Structures are given as C-alpha cells and as structure tokens.
Structure 1
Amino acid sequence: MVFPMVMLKLADWLLYKILANSYYKAATKVRNHGFFQRNLSFKSPQYPSVTKCSLTNKVSQTLVLDIHGCLLRSKSFFPFFMLVAFEGGSILRALFLLLSCSFLWVLDFELQLRVMIFITFCGLRLKDMDNVSRAVLPKFYLENLNLNVYEVLASASNRLVFTSLPKVMVEGFLKDYLSVHTVKGTELHTIGKYYTGLVSGSGLLVKHRALKEFCGEKMPDVGIGISTLADQLFISLCKEAYVVTKEDNKSCANSIMPRDKYPKPLVFHDGRLAFLPTPLATLSMFMWFPLGIILAIFRLFVGIFLPYKLAILLGTSSGIRLKIKGQISSKKSQKNTKGVLYVCTHRTLLDPVFLSTLLGKPLTAVTYSLSKMSEFLSPIKTVRLTRDRAQDSETMQKLLSEGDLVVCPEGTTCREPYLLRFSSLFAELADEIVPVAVNTNVTMFYGTTASGLKCLDPIFFLMNPKLCYSIHILPKVPKRLTVAGGKSSHEVANYIQKQLADALGFQCTTLTRRDKYLMLAGNEGVVQDRTNK
C-alpha cells in the first residue's frame, strides 16, 4: 500500500509544480475582475498567542494540548523516532529510518507517521521500548520543552494530552515529569512481547474526535495548539483557545526551558547518543562512524603503549582537550608508609587512566564491576572489589601499602551535574587523601551505559570527534579532617563530596548506584559484565 501511495503523491507533486503557477495567475485575474465577493472568502479563526494566556485563576481548570509542535519546540518528531530506533533497536534499524527520509517528504503527515512507526517498531521488544521511554527520551523531551507552553500547563490542575503519536513514546514522560493526568495517543499493535509496527484497529488518533469522546458535552477550559486546520478543530472545542506561533518558536531565549526550571531534576539518563538525532545530524553520525572506530583504536593504542608525555601530545592532537587545574604533586608524609589515596568523581571508566597519565606515573584503580574487555585494555592495574566491606577493606589496605590508589566512591558514573552519595569505606583506609574533581564533555557518543554492552563503553567514548577531560586536583585533605583527626568516616566522605561538588559547580545528592539502576535498567546493577561502574 505504501509504494502506490508514494507514486501517487509524487505524481500529484509534479502536476502541482507544472500547473500551479498558471492556475494561480488565472485565479488572480478572476478575483481581480470581481467574480468572487471578498466577504465570501473563508478565513480561519485568529487565536491569540500562547504568550497572551494568563497564568492566574487556572488552578481548577482543565487544559488540553498536543505534545507535537506544541509542548515541544521541535517541529519534527523524526529525532524521537530515531532515538527509539537507535537506542531500543539497532544501528541497522536507525539506518533504515534515516534512508526513509528520501521519500517521507512527499507523504502527508498521516502516512509519514505510519511509515516511521512501522520502521521503528516492527519487531521491537516491548521491554526495549520501556527502557527507552524511561531512561532515554525524557532527557531530550526536557531539553525541547517550550517554556511558555509549560508554564500554562503547570498552572492548570487537570492536564490532558491528545496526540496522534504512539502513546508508548510520550505517556511515561508526560505522567512522570509533567504530572499529566490523562494521555490519549495512537495505540500500537503487538504480538506477544513484540510490536508488529502497525497501529491498532482504531487507527491513528484523531484529536478533535478523541476529545469529543472523552469530554462529551463538557467543554475543556483551555486548549493549546498550532496554526493548522486539525489543531484549530481541536482547540475550537475549548472555552479558551491559544496557539503556538512561529514567532513564539523563533524567540528561543524566551521559549527554551532552563535546567533550574525543570519540573523534575534530571539526574540519570541512558543511551549512547549525546545529540538530538535530526536527519542531518544522524547522517553526519553515520558518515563519521567508520572514521570514529579508527580514531578510537588510535587513541587506545596511544594510551596503552606510548610513554605519558608522548601519549598526551598525540592524544591532544587527535581531538582530546585536556583541562588541568591544581598542583600535580604526590609527595607523602615521611611518617606515612602508605600510598596516596586519590578520591575522584566518576564520569567515565577512563577517569583513573587520565589521572595516571597526567600525573605521569602508574596508579592502581579499584572497581566494583568491570567488563573483561575493559580490564584487558586498561593501561593501569585494576582490581575488582567484592561488595563485602571487610574483604574490600583488606584488599584496599594491601594495595595502599604497595603504592598510590585511585577510588571513585560514587560507585557508578553520573552524566549530569550531580554527585551521588560517597561510600565511606575509603575514609577508613588512609590519612593522606587527595580529592580530584573530574568532568567530561562529549559531542556525539556517551561512554557510559546502564542497560547496554559495557564492554563498548571505552570505544564509544573515544569515538567522539572531540572530547574534553577536565581534572582539578584539590589540596590534600588536612589531617584534622580525616579519621585520624577524630572525624567519622561518614563525615570525611560527606566533606570530600561537598568539596568536589563546589569545585565542579555540581549539586550533592544522597542517590546511590542502586537508585540509578532501578530507574534506568530495572535492576540493582549487580549483573556481571552488564552493569555500569
């Protein structure tokens, strides 16, 4: 059915291009000669801009709107289908979806949506879609929220969303982050644990019909839409109606949602893509992929086999930007026979490697979980911990007696500007503690994962065309503020967490590794070789 429709649309477009100009000129002459009266011409209702909507006295009111083109600033929903295809499906599925752009432009909205649904969801597991909707999509939705529309939404007590988009792609975000009470969207057909790629028997949701069926004779108080016929039919069923105009979207400074106004803090998210995958951006990614793999292998070779100074020189020339702050010193007290304990914030698996390279000496890193591939590729010594406090304490004591040690007490990585709760075990082991504030910035791929293959973390991270590693070595913790000075291990851990957060401009939290994995992967993060450090 799709191919004949594509050919019909293409023929229609060609006829339009050939005949439209002559028809338009003829119609203009007819109009100018007075064959039609001006008062008989149809004019669509002129609804005020959403910026004109008052935010007061709406506590008890019902608000209805769509997420596509209204609540989100992005006009196209293609990037969000691409996120599902790439993160929930595979790179081949994402490639097929990208190739579909070559003919999607000749289809109308309904047929475009059906094609994107089929390519994205055909054979996709329900479990994978659930992971994407919970751990991947919320980040991109929050970054694309229209501030003006959200403020109106937040002012209403009863919030309803009607959309032609698949309900499974938007319902979780709308309910968990925006406290939307009811979400009506297109239902997808499933067989067992898989999607078929087809919509259910009811077809694509038609907003104004769904609103009539849901509300009956009772008109909602406020409706928000865009300047299309479908949306005007939709919002005309409301007592008050507003539209998101092109001018509203153009004024980015007023419509972009700042992080401090997020309805719910975004601490955890998953997925490999660090950019919104628009068609052009996705095409750039696929073109870069082969070169990125070669670049990652080169950077691995440099980090593993070359001396520190040469590794830094070649690494920076390959696009790695290093920001170093603080005194790089490892002088120990003459009375202390133990090594120095470096306490790092945890952004990627390579934090101890970069620190070791910048210090110019080999360090030992302790980790709770590490894939065998990462352990094999690591240029520094890595030792696994067992989560048994007594045994891990004994292991770390032994390692400190042999030399300097690196520990990441958060126990897992966090991508956003937050620090997770620090384990207090490290504070019981050493008197000479050096806090190290580590931060990273990537342009294309994230080098961490909670539900994907952990063995690929270093590869994806090093595939970035450009990446930045910032390391701030803070002064050694005074002895009076350590366990040896009379402080408890919890007090020391909390003090160092606060110092590192202040150095990075981050916010301290009491969230743990368990909290992260329960949210992102639906488990406690203890499955070997599939957990994220």
Structure 2
Amino acid sequence: MVMEETSKTTSPNSVVSEFEGTLLKSNDPFSYFMLLAFDASGVIRFTILLFLWPVTTLLNVFSYKDASLKLMIFISTAGLRESDSELVARDVLPKFYMDDLSMDTWKVLSSCKKRIVVTRKPRVMVERFAKQHLNAEEVIGTELIVNRFGLSPKPHLGLGRRPALSDSTTFLSLCEEQIHEPVQWNNQVEVQPPKPVIFHDGGLMKRPTPATALTILLWLPFGIILAMIRILGAFIVPMWLMPYVISLSFCRVTVKGKPPPKAANSGGVLFVCSHRTMIDPLVISYTLGRSIPAVLISDLSRFYDILSPVPIVRFIRNRDVDGAKMKQELDKGDLVVCPEGSICYQPFVLRFSAMFAELTDRIVPVAINCRFGFFQRPLRSWNGLYLIFLFMNPTLDYEITFLDQLPFEATCSSGKTPYDVANHVQRILADTLGFECTNLGRKAKYNVLT
C-alpha cells in the first residue's frame, strides 16, 4: 500500500473516518455478519448466510454493493430483537474489530479531538466498539442520514479509501481535507494505544471468513462425536491412564517447571492458577497424576459435578463460609483454586481475590495457557454447554508451568497483607505467560458483558 505523508505539525480538531477498509484493514463486512448470525441466532442462520455468500459476492462484483449489504443485513438480523444485536456488538465483536484494527489509521484518528466513524454496517454493530475503545464521539451507520453533517461544522479531516474502492465519497466531500489512504501522521502529538479489549464472549474464536465458516460447518458433526468421546473418556478412564488418552484425542499438555511432590504430613499445597478454561483444575490433576479437589463458583451447572473425575468444592460467595470450606479441604490435602473467579480469553490476568492468601503459606503458583481452534461457550447459552463446545475443538493445546512455592517472606506470615500476596502472585503469573495484569475482576467482567 502506498503511504501518503502529510505536512501537518499540529492536530486537526475533528476527523471523520470510514470504518471498513480504513479503520479496519478488511473492507468486507461479511465475516462480522456471520458472527452476528452465529451468536445472536445460531447455526441455521449462520449456514444460510454462508450459502448466500456467492450471491453477495457476485452482487459486489457487478457493482450492486447496496443490494449485497442489504441482503447480508436482512439474513443476519431478520426476526432478531434489537437487544440481541446489541448483545453481540457488546460482547463478541469488539475482540475481532481490535484484531483487525489498522494502527496507521488509529494514529491519525487518535490525534484529533472530535472523532466520528462512518460505517456501512448497522450502527448498532459498531457503536459500542467505536465509543468504548476508540473514544469516538459519534457513529453514523447505514440506518442514519449521512447529510446530518450539515447540522454542525465541517470536520477538518476525512479518512477513507480511494473513490474507486469506496462508497465514502459523500461524507469525504463534506470534510475540509481528504485523505484516501492510511497516513503517516507527522505531528508532535503522542499517540496512545486504543483501549484494549479485555473481556470477550461468544461462541467462535476465529473471525468466520467464508473459508473458515465452511470449515466450521463441515467440522461440527465430527466435533460433536469427538466431544462425547473426550467427555466419556474423562469420566471412565482411570487417572493414571489419562495422559495417554489425552494424547490420543488430539490434546497436548506441555508441562514446565517442577511440581511439588504429594505432602507426606498433614495439610496440603494450594495450587493458585490463572484461569483460561473450565477444565484448568482437571488438567492440573492429570499433570500430577492424582485427584486434587478444585474450587468452583456456585452458579455453574451441576453438570460439572456429575462428569468431573475430581472432587469439586463449591463457593457460595460468602467469605466466611467459603474460607472455612477451603481451610477444611487444605487440612485434608492439596487444593486447586483460580482466584480470578472467571475465565479471561484475552492475554490478561484478572484481579485476584485475596482470600486464598489468608489460609495458607504453602502456595504454589501455576501459570496456565490454552490454545484451541474454533469454539468457546456460545453467547447466553446454558453454561453446561461450555464443556461440550470446548471439547468440540479439533485440538486443545495446554501449557502448564509450575513455579516455585512462595518463600516465607512473600506470605502473610511474614507480615504481608493478603492483598500484597495476591497481587504478587498475579504479577508473577502474568510475567510467566507474557500477559498483562489488570485491576478488573469478575464483577467488572459481568458489568461489561451484561
């Protein structure tokens, strides 16, 4: 791509930018409508839209772009409640938009005080991301009248694709200066990164381009069979055989560090883990070759209790009751806990609950990461489906890193507060994984995603 360089040394006051193909590197909205169809409606609508992809492509080829867009909007939204579309726009799409964001365009956008985003997609699909993560003041979508610019001063700068590639000529003509490609902005303003996407939900891990979407549909029947085999295997096979079963079912577990041996005396070790999937504690048990109880929150489906080959200790979110329960289990032996309290799919470690630090000094941090191909739990579905969708992935690649037990001077017994200990463990786990620490926790996640 040819880069144009502007001679400006000061930032313009306002900018209006095209979303597709300018702020986003991709100019094809198809995959985002596929995400909306999958998470707001399900596989049937997802399949119908995929089968109509040749039609929408031909319409674009023969310059019927508006007809192509209207067809995608109709198929992906007809019959949906507006709240369903808003839910997907809030919980699912931001992660994929951020992955596709053009940092060159962001540098220009971020240098301007008033930011306006224009999109071909319905405004509801873009507004949350643009305002929350790009600090846009306004988002204009296909359902709004573009000539509303006439009601306010002209934007100083317009960013869009070249006229031959874009439908953005109308709004660009209303700007004082027009730039048709991402630019290298030659000014003295320090560029801040866009607000990161920390929380992400939704059923698909990859943006469903036509090829990816077809692969997912073809894999679905095999994935369901594979999930049933994996679940039954975890339920039936003895623990000592599990490493062999895992490798035969296209799963890989890489272990780093030296796990502590089983304690010979009374009391156990508390394994404090980062939280990437619902089976993290189970993988710890498989790695150590012995059944270790795991702490889970109380609102998870009892489906996990039935299928889990390791004992489950349920929290009810009463600090005194939960603390006493954990202490009782630690007196019996080892215990696994994920103090984040919720899964984070992005490269962040959420804020830790400090209660674990009050109960024992025998704390072993365990850094867990997991890479899987297609699926996570579908948006707003029964949480018991999480296990099924996780095991439907063609491969599961776990990496478990056992760190050294915390030294005495890093525990509460040395005078450290529980919060100091929790923050220290969070930090060393994040450093091991190459992730970032965040002060946001479980409550913040559900405030964002609900």
Residue 392 (1) aligns with residue 322 (2): yes
> Is the Cα contact below 8 Å between 1:498 and 1:508 reproduced in 2?
yes
Residue 499 of structure 1 aligns to a residue whose secondary structure is: helix
**2:79 alignment counterpart:** 123
Q: Which runs of 5+ in 2 are unaligned?
A: 184-190
Distance 1:326 1:146 in 2: 38
Aligned length: 437
Residue number in structure 2 paired with 1:147 = 103
Residues 58-84 of structure 1: CA deviation (Å, up to 9, x unaligned): 242x22221122211112100111111
Aligned amino acid, residue 5 of structure 2 = K
Structure 1 residue identity aligned to 2:235: I
The equivalent residue for 1:222 is 157
Counterpart residue type for residue 384 of structure 1: R
User: 1:465 Cα shift?
Assistant: 1.1
Higher relative contact order (CA 8 A, sep 6+): 2
Within-5 A mapping of 1:164-313: 164-187=120-143, 210-211=146-147, 213-215=148-150, 219-228=154-163, 230-244=167-181, 262-313=193-244
Q: Quote the residue 2:248 is aligned against.
A: 317
What is the aligned partner in structure 1 of residue 9 from structure 2? 56
1:321-400 aligned within 5 A: 321-332=252-263, 334=265, 337-369=266-298, 370-400=300-330
Q: Distance in 1 between matches of 2:259 and 2:113?
A: 55
Instruction: Look up the SS of the partner of 1:454 in the other structure.
Output: coil
SS in 2 for 1:164: coil
Q: Is 1:96–2:48 an aligned residue pair?
A: yes
> How many angstroms apart in 2 are the aligned matches of 1:300 and 1:473?
26
The letter of the residue matching 2:248 is S
Which residue does 1:71 correspond to in 2? 23
Over aligned residue pairs, what C-alpha RMSD do you find?
2.4
Q: CA deviation at 1:315?
A: 1.5
| Matched residue type, 2:406 | V
Superposition deviation, residue 360 in structure 1: 0.2
Secondary structure, aligned partner of 1:105: helix
Shift >6 Å, 4+ stretches = none
Q: Indicate how the Cα distance of structure 1 residues 305 and 236 shifts in structure 2: closer, same or farther if over 3 A, else same.
A: same
Work out which of the residue numbers 390, 412, 432 in structure 2 matches 1:483.
Answer: 412
> Which of 366, 378, 395 is the matching residue for 1:436?
366
2-structure distance, mates of 1:119, 1:442: 29
Deviation at 1:396, TM superposition (A): 1.4
- Alpha-carbon shift at residue 488 of structure 1 (Å): 2.6
* Deviation digits for residues 482-518 of structure 1 (CA, Å, limit 9, x no counterpart): 2333333222222222222222122222211110001
Q: 1:297 to 1:53 in 2, by over 3 A?
A: farther
Range with bigger deviation, 260-269 or 415-424:
260-269
- What are the superposed Cα offsets for residues 440-487 of structure 1, whole Å, 9 maximum, x if unpaired? 1111112x5774321111111111112211111111122333233333
Give the distance between the partners of 1:217 and 1:474, measured in 2 at CA.
59
Deviation at 1:217, TM superposition (A): 9.4
Instruction: Compute the TM-score of the two structures, normalised by the length of structure 1.
Output: 0.77
* Runs of 5+ consecutive residues of structure 1 not aligned to the other structure: 1-47, 188-201, 249-259, 523-533
Asked if the contact 1:409/1:426 (under 8 Å) is kept, the reply is yes
Matched, 1:515 2:444: yes
Relative to structure 1, is the Cα distance of residues 214 and 237 closer, same or farther in structure 2, using a 3 angstrom cutoff?
closer
Change in 2 beyond 3 A, CA 1:449/1:405: farther
Does structure 2 retain, via aligned residues, the 8 Å contact 1:320–1:466? yes
Quick one: distance in 1 between partners of 2:112 and 2:2? 17
Q: Residues 119 and 126 of structure 2 are in contact (CA less than 8 Å); yes or no, is this contact kept in structure 1? A: no
d(CA) in 2 for partners of 1:407, 1:503: 18
Tell me the secondary structure at the aligned position of residue 290 of structure 2. Answer: coil
CA distance in 2, matches of 1:442, 1:150: 30
Q: How far apart are residue 144 of structure 1 and its match?
A: 0.9
What is the Cα deviation at residue 317 of structure 1? 3.0
* Offset of residue 225 of structure 1: 1.9
State the distance in 2 between where 1:489 and 1:219 align.
Answer: 55
Query: Of 414, 425, 442, which residue of structure 2 is paired with 1:496?
Result: 425
Q: In 2, distance between residues paired with 1:181 and 1:237?
A: 18
State how far apart, in whole Å, the 2-side matches of 1:217 and 1:440 are: 50
Q: Which of residues 53, 64, 67 in structure 2 aligns to 1:111?
A: 67
Q: What amino acid is aligned across from residue 302 of structure 2 in structure 1?
A: K
Mark the structure with the bigger radius of gyration: 1
Contact 1:450 1:517 in 2 (8 A): no
- What is the aligned partner in structure 2 of residue 408 from structure 1? 338
Aligned pair in 2 of structure 1 residues 123, 475: CA closer, same or farther (>3 Å)? same
1:38: which partner in 2?
none
| DSSP-derived class of the 1:437 partner | strand
Give the SS at the match of 2:304.
helix
Deviations 1:136-183 (A, max 9, x none): 111111111112222111122222223332111111111111122222
How far apart are residue 299 of structure 1 and its match?
1.6
Identity of aligned residues (%): 40
Structure 2-normalised TM-score?
A: 0.91
